[in-house]
């Protein structure tokens, strides 16, 4: 997730760009950059990569900007391809430096496009997928196309998700913008026009607002916006009414970042899958193989792995518990999982055939980082699963899988937790693939099931109103018990953790089979038991455990598959979810109503869900 802004018209282009980038900084803060254009002058570009200080440093280095500039682009970056650096920062230019563009998204086929363009003589300066777009458009212009046609023609060659804005020194005042999947909005006044990745950048600067749809192209000039479809037919503009204030706009109109990030989960999952499921020919395409584009261990090294350790903390640990089931079931490798803070101190037995999977949203969690370093010192292979490009764990590991969730502002993990599970499921399937444990039809089925998850998670989120109603009825309860078995157990742990983190209520998660070994002594009338009772392998046993707590007066809340009346008959309250196409993928869907339950209970108690007490987003001390 990156922030894009473009301005054409008026005399305050640079101040407008910098102000709008400040409003979009929540979308990315690895680096920042601007490019300015003035008739008859070359493009002027500045970029900075100082983390959260990037934008301030950029603003302090604009003394040589052309005062006559009348159009320009700006960008704040959340790195996906290439480490955060000035070279990798946007805007990117072509070989001549006369074309510049900014981009949000992931170009799936950037390697093959880059190889082709390099063979034609184009020189790539960065590690990014974005720069390939600049050279692709440059190539189309060298064949006689103007900027508008060159961008339109290039769009037909791209696979993946993108929102982009392009300028050229030879076409003064013109911004060409396009999108597929990644959002892009447009604004207009009588003498100026803007493009941006989100509404906040335009508030107070535009009189009219418009939304660009998939595979549409916008030709933006001062006071003028023309939009065409993929066949180059002009589309009438439909103004959008915006009633948000600036603070609400930064949250996408949601009351807080946590609810915004819960609703972003389908897109975050799709971004994590993008480019990693390779489609076969046909319509609709089936999936035939996996591709790990940031993986730095050879297939031969992975085939030599004879044991896997997973180390993580908090929500990442719960994602790791799902990974244990997936790796053992699909790849047939033994897996041990440790809370990262304990890993080094039990003297684990590791060697060069051991794979240690270290999971951390930030890539800076000190316990997990130190566990990974300890494993590396014992010659184990280390694979990091993280959301932050060029984080310490990413740099120091033998391989890295990025979760591509974008910045997560809320302290309680939501979209990063789900994308961690997705990345780990991909890893499990990849290990099985390189070990030759799947027939092609089996792998295609599982990859198709992965591909269906964004839609299923979206359906679970759409039931948020039902979950809120359940939360209102439980608002007076102080004691919650979360139960699950098999892959439902990590979901129960995550549900309990979310409730503790943001509602400050007493919540404990247990394997349902352990209930009678002690915890059932705490069950009494007034207790609430939340059980994950979707149709995974031990469903019948979960229902038996539920019957035990019902007999002792507990109020029962069940997570159940849509239409499963047999399960619902044992519940006082039901949290409905779509069924997963494979049991090992169920946690991605089943955890969603538990996030929502925790959220609504916290709101019912008047808590700040984005900043829960005593907690920090990244734990950097032991």
Q: Tell the burial category of 98 from Cβ atoms under 10 Å away from its Cβ (0-12, 13-18, 19+).
A: middle
Rounded CA gap, 486 and 512, in Å? Answer: 9
Number of neighbouring beta carbons within 10 Å of residue 301 = 16
Rounded CA gap, 200 and 114, in Å? Answer: 34
Question: Is residue 254 reached through a cis peptide bond, with omega within 30 degrees of 0 on the bond before it?
Answer: no
Q: Tell the burial category of 614 from Cβ atoms under 10 Å away from its Cβ (0-12, 13-18, 19+).
A: exposed
Ranges of beta strands (E only) in 431-537 are 479-484, 506-511, 528-532
Four-CA torsion 197, 198, 203, 209, nearest 10 degrees: 80
Rounded CA gap, 382 and 350, in Å? Answer: 11
Rounded CA gap, 101 and 83, in Å? Answer: 19
Q: Which two tokens stand for residue 564?
A: 């499963």
- Cβ neighbours of residue 609 under 8 Å, at least 6 residues apart? 256, 258, 259, 410, 412, 502, 599, 602, 603
Active-site residue, from 2, 260, 324, 415: 2
Annotation says 260 is catalytic:
no
- Cβ neighbours of residue 242 under 8 Å, at least 6 residues apart? 199, 203, 209, 249
377 in helix, strand or coil?
helix
The DSSP 8-state label assigned to residue 213 in this structure reads P
Ranges of beta strands (E only) in 132-237 are 160-168, 175-180, 185-188, 193-196, 208-211, 217-221, 224-228, 234-235
Following DSSP, what letter does each residue of 504-521 receive, concatenated?
A: --EEEEEEGGGGGGTGGG
Q: Which two tokens stand for residue 115?
A: 């190889």
Active-site residue, from 53, 516, 541, 617: 617
Number of neighbouring beta carbons within 10 Å of residue 326 = 25
Annotation says 2 is catalytic:
yes
293 in helix, strand or coil?
coil
The candidate with the shortest Cα–Cα distance to 319, out of 340, 302, 297, is: 340
Task: Output the CA torsion sign for 53, 59, 65, 68.
Answer: positive
Four-CA torsion 436, 442, 447, 449, nearest 10 degrees: -150
Contact 533, 549 (CB under 8 A): no
The DSSP 8-state label assigned to residue 458 in this structure reads H
The DSSP 8-state label assigned to residue 82 in this structure reads S
Task: Output the CA torsion sign for 368, 373, 376, 378.
Answer: negative
Tokens 């595979």: give the residue. 215
- Strand-pairing partners, residue 100, are 93, 167
The residues annotated with a catalytic role in the active site are 2, 617
């Amino acid at each position: 997730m990156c922030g894009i802004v473009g301005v054409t018209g008026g005399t305050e282009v640079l101040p407008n760009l910098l102000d709008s980038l400040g409003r979009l900084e929540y979308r990315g803060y690895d680096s920042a950059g601007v490019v300015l254009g003035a008739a008859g002058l070359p493009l002027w570009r500045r970029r900075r990569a100082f983390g959260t200080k990037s934008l301030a440093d950029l603003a302090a280095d604009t003394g040589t900007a052309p005062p006559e500039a009348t159009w320009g682009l700006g960008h704040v970056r959340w790195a996906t391809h290439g480490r955060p650096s000035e070279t990798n920062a946007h805007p990117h230019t072509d070989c001549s430096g006369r074309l510049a563009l900014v981009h949000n998204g992931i170009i799936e086929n950037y390697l093959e496009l880059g190889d082709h363009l390099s063979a034609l003589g184009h020189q790539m300066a960065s590690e990014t997928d974005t720069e390939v777009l600049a050279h692709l458009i440059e190539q189309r212009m060298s064949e006689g196309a103007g900027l508008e046609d060159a961008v339109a023609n290039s769009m037909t060659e791209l696979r993946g998700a993108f929102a982009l804005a392009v300028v050229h020194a030879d076409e003064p005042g013109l911004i060409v913008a396009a999108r597929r999947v990644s959002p892009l909005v447009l604004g207009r006044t009588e003498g100026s026009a803007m493009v941006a990745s989100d509404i906040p950048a335009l508030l107070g600067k535009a009189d009219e607002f418009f939304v660009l749809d998939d595979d549409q192209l916008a030709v933006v000039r001062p006071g003028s916006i023309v939009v065409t479809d993929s066949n180059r037919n002009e589309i009438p503009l439909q103004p959008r009414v915006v009633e948000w204030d600036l603070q609400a706009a930064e949250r996408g109109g949601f009351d807080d970042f946590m609810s915004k990030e819960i609703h972003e989960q389908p897109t975050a999952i799709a971004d994590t899958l993008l480019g990693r499921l390779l489609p076969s020919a046909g319509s609709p395409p089936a999936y035939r193989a996996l591709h790990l584009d940031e993986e730095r261990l050879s297939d031969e090294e992975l085939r030599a792995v004879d044991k896997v350790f997973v180390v993580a903390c908090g929500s990442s640990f719960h994602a790791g518990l799902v990974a244990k089931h997936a790796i053992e079931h699909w790849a047939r490798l033994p897996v041990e999982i440790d809370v990262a803070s304990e890993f080094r101190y039990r003297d684990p037995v590791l060697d060069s055939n051991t794979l240690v999977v270290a999971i951390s949203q930030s890539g800076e969690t000190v316990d997990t980082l130190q566990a990974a370093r300890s494993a590396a010192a014992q010659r184990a292979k280390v694979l990091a699963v993280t959301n932050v490009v060029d984080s310490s764990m990413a740099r120091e590991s033998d391989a890295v899988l990025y979760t591509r969730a974008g910045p997560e502002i809320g302290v309680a993990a939501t979209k990063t937790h789900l994308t961690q599970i997705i990345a780990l499921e991909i890893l499990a399937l990849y290990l099985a693939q390189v070990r030759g444990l799947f027939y092609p039809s089996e792998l295609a089925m599982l990859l198709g099931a992965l591909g269906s998850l964004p839609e299923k998670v979206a359906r679970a989120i759409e039931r948020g109103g039902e979950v809120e109603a359940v939360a209102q009825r439980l608002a007076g309860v102080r004691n919650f018990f979360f139960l699950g078995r098999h892959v439902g157990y990590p979901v129960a742990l995550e549900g309990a953790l979310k409730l503790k983190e943001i509602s400050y209520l007493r919540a404990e998660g247990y394997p349902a089979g352990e209930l009678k070994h002690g915890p059932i002594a705490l069950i009494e009338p007034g207790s609430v038991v939340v059980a994950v009772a979707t149709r995974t392998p031990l469903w019948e046993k979960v229902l038996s455990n539920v019957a035990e707590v019902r007999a002792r007066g507990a109020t029962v809340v069940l997570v159940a598959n849509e239409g499963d009346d047999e399960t619902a008959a044992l519940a006082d309250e039901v949290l409905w979810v779509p069924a997963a196409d494979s049991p090992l993928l169920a946690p991605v869907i089943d955890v969603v109503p538990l996030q929502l339950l925790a959220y609504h209970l916290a709101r019912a108690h008047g808590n700040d869900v984005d900043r829960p007490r005593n907690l920090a987003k990244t734990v950097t001390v032991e």
